Amino acid sequence: MLPEALPPSGRRRRRAGDVRVRIFTPTCELPFAGHPTLGTAIALAQSTDRTSLTMETMVGEIEFTFRREGGEVVSASMRQPVPEWEPYEHAGVLADGLGASPAEPVVFGYRNGPRHVLFPVREVETLSGLKPDLRVLATLPDMSAFCFAGQGRQWRARMFSPAYGVTEDAATGSAAGSLAVHPARTGKIGYGERIEIRQGVEMGRPSTMLATAWGSADCPERVEVSGTATAVARGEFLIEGDGSAE
């Protein structure tokens, strides 16, 4: 049995998930996010012997599988929504706000719930040196700027999103899925190749995400992102009396 959690609604599909989640940033509610759901799934699974879990979000059901060592969950993999993409309409403003030019002729926005605008730069040194003007980025609605550099299976990333109330994020699991799709659909890697994404290095909070996209040509069919979580605090809610409504 799972510990007490927000019960599934069962309304989005015929089969209900195991739990339902809602995700909030300082400014808005997100329909889906990667690391909040991954961390929640791992925390819920730690008190059980489950090897999988289905989580209801505003974009549908997200399936998780767990890897255990000595009974402890050490990592989780999630099957993410396949993102939709289109050229980003404010690429010039974004480049001005980042103080950098994109390394590809077209900058794309990918949406799998939140919208991540993938902004490529040529070198990791350029990525590390970015000093974005957050006042400019704050004029761009409903987006995160997910800046990346690398090649093959090794990538580095930084994410800035005043629109979502995040100055800089140490790990952005939903954007990792889109980054797996982007080089596959543009021919830089093959579908089915797992990439490693390092993020949060410049913040002193390095994270590692593993992501894979399956499909062919310009048609991704499945996206999976894996990662770990570390418990940094524990607590309990204490309710006076029997908890019944008066």
The answer on 88 and 76 residing in a single domain is: no
Domain count, the chain: 2
Any domain includes 67: yes
pLDDT of residue 188: 95
CATH number of the domain that residue 178 is part of: 3.10.310.10
Return the pLDDT at 245.
Answer: 52
Neighbours of 105 (CB within 10 A): 7
pLDDT at 1: 52
CB 144 within 8 A of CB 159: yes
Which residues of the chain, if any, have pLDDT below 70?
1-7, 9-16, 242-246
Check whether residue 138 and residue 204 sit in a common domain: yes
Of 80, 110, 127, the domain-final residue: 80
- 76 and 132 housed in the same domain: no
- Sequence-distant (6+) residues with CB within 8 A of 232 are none
State residue 15's pLDDT score: 53
State the residue range of the domain holding 41. Answer: 19-80
- Residues 62, 120, single domain; the answer is no
Residue linked to tokens 């012997």? 49
Note whether residue 209 is domain-resident. Answer: yes
